[in-house]
Structure 1
Amino acid sequence: MAKLDLGELGRVGVTLDVRADGGHLDDAALLEKLGYSTIWIAGGQLATLDPLRDVVRATDAIPVGSAIIPVQRYAAQDVIAFRRDLEVTAPGRLITGLGGAHGARPLRTMNAYLDSLDSFDAADPPVPAGARMLSALGPRMLELSRDRAAGAVPLLVTPEYTAQARETLGEQPTLAVMEYVVLERDPRLARDTVREPIRFLTRVGGYAQNLRRMGFTDEDIAVTSDRLLDGLVAWGDIDAVAARVRRHLDAGADQVVLVVQPTDPDAVLHGEWRALAEALLA
């Protein structure tokens, strides 16, 4: 069992979308100025690992996490080399979030990957357990997060799941829960904003299986039902989102990572980020 090398993450982090025009680097500086505790970059955007380095360089001190580096896309040696280079210029800034171990035996795949990281230099591991977290969902992957990493970064989960994950992890490991957020009071518009991205995720890896563990039906998952969206997404006004964040924290999350979705796909999120910071970071 390892403790996160960075210590306590802080209670509220946020995800950042990589923009082709490089505007996400200015966004990263803004998020740090607003007081968010961490910035996380989604793995689907990591055609290379360079955006992680670029965001670290665009900010002063905020930790930057990968959520996640897909282990079936990047060899362990690539992750080792990347983190070693970054540690030279920005030591202690990167949280190496790992996941994407899909297929018939995801636990075996992840264990083998961690073996590769640990065996590269046993005396001075370049990606030590305290610097990495896993995108765990099921109980066995949570146990692996507890035993061979600093904790877990689950997505598409309920506060009830958070309580169960904390029980599995124990007190010491870090639990950073990723939470979709839509600042919109209209139920139809709020749900339609996140229906497609969540529908896509339910067809990837172990998400559907974990949704069933949380009590959602096959029908909920097949049609991405309103019940499913209401169980997984913080939508409504600021007070409703803040209440949802508190539920995760009260259930045992160390940090809630806001995955903010605009109702207008072409809009920038500066207004939402500012409003949420004022409500949640005071």
Structure 2
Amino acid sequence: MWNGRVGVWSRELRFSRDREDARDAAAELEELGYAALWIPDVGGDVFGACEELLAATRSIPLLTGILNIWMHDAAEVAARSAALGERFTLGLGASHEAVIGERYAKPLSAMRAYLDELDVLGSGDRLLAALGPKMLELSRTRAAGAHPYLVPVEHTRQAREILGPDRALAVEQGVVLAPDRAAARAHVAAYLELPNYVANLRRLGYGDADFAGGGSDALVDALVAWGDEEAIAERVRAQLEAGADHVCIQVIDAVDDTPPRDAWRRIAPALIV
């Protein structure tokens, strides 16, 4: 699934309008020693983007973080995942009602049904976007592991306990390579509009005061690593020590859809050993 402990999660690799730059950035990430590439899905031809990035690189694994089960037919997903070959791993998620609208139903039941379809079609390994204990348990019993997004270290510790020792745990970690809590807060604030993330944070002990104003300092600091290279490396180490097998960093500094290549270069020596 990955070649090491630290990868890169990037919207820009998927959505950059300069596709040549995106391909070059993917190739550079491989040369820098990152262990995997992760790209998101909000509909559209995510598999086309996967094909493009795999063709631009030699051996680095590529994963979807995540493919939205409401936006893709299971038969198509099984067929196109298989066609991408061994370097590709499918990450699946049930998304949010605010994103999907009226079609949205109980996420756990929807994911079970989707996995049933994939099993009949003979799909390969998959990871599940999992926050709550029930989805983490489903990740243990029906998948190769879990891919939590926007979670503090304490969640990683609890997720490992639920998954047990033999399932993969790949944690997304937002990072700001600057002494800029405001940038970190702006990132967190958008997700506090989504009930699934808020419910997960409540389970971890955060309350209404933490969700006001874009997030309390304590909440923002727990969710996003900000500061210099060592501050970011320290958070990645904490996630790994808490039970993650792999941490995919998401650099939060892109002004538009341009890959943050300078930040990836600067962080790499502190993360990749």
Provide the residue aligned with 2:120 in structure 1. Answer: 119
Residue type at the aligned position of 1:96:
L
Rounded Cα–Cα distance in structure 2 between residues aligned with 1:202 and 1:52: 29
2:8 is paired with a residue whose SS is strand
Percent identity of the aligned residues?
Answer: 43
Distance 2:94 2:112 in 1: 12
Q: 1:173 to 1:266 in 2, by over 3 A?
A: closer
Residue ranges of structure 1 left out of the alignment (5+ in a row): 1-5
TM-score if structure 1 supplies the norm length? 0.87
Moved more, 17-26 or 137-146: 17-26
Q: What corresponds to 2:242 in structure 1? A: 251
Distance in 2 of aligned mates of 1:266 and 1:65: 19
Q: Tell me the secondary structure at the aligned position of residue 226 of structure 2.
A: strand
Give the Å deviation of 1:81: 2.1
Change in 2 beyond 3 A, CA 1:263/1:28: closer
Aligned alpha-carbon RMSD (Å)? 1.7
Query: What is the number of equivalent residue pairs in this alignment?
Result: 260
Deviation (angstroms), 1:144: 0.4
Q: Does 1:20 align with 2:22?
A: no
Give the conservation status (yes or no) of the 8 Å contact 2:94–2:110.
no
> What corresponds to 1:219 in structure 2?
209
In the TM superposition, residue 222 of structure 1 has moved relative to its aligned partner by: 3.8
Offset from partner CA, 1:22-60 (integer Å, 9 cap, x none)? 02111100000100000000223x521211111111111
Structure 2-normalised TM-score? 0.90
User: In structure 1, how many angstroms separate the alpha carbons of the residues matched to 2:214 and 2:201?
Assistant: 11
Residue 111 of structure 1 aligns with an amino acid whose one-letter code is R
Equivalence map 1:78-117=2 (5 Å): 78-86=76-84, 91-102=85-96, 103-117=104-118
d(CA) in 1 for partners of 2:266, 2:169: 24
Following superposition, the deviation at residue 162 of structure 1 comes to 0.6
Partner secondary structure for residue 157 of structure 1: coil
Secondary structure at 2:172 match in 1: strand
Quote the Cα distance in structure 1 between the aligned partners of 2:131 and 2:32.
30
Q: What is the CA distance between 1:200 and its match in structure 2?
A: 2.2
> Which sits farther off after the overlay, 267-276 or 12-21?
267-276
Q: 1:239 aligns with which of 205, 227, 230?
A: 230
**What is the CA-CA distance between 1:264 and the residue it aligns to?**
4.8
Q: Name the SS for the 2:165 alignment partner.
A: coil
Secondary structure, counterpart of 2:193 in structure 1: coil
Structure 2, gaps ≥5 residues long: 97-103
- From the superposition, tell whether residues 197 and 47 of structure 1 become closer, same or farther in structure 2 (CA, over 3 Å): farther
- Kindly tell me: are residues 181 and 136 of structure 1, through their superposed partners in 2, closer, same or farther at Cα, counting changes over 3 Å? same
Q: Secondary structure at the match of 1:273?
A: helix
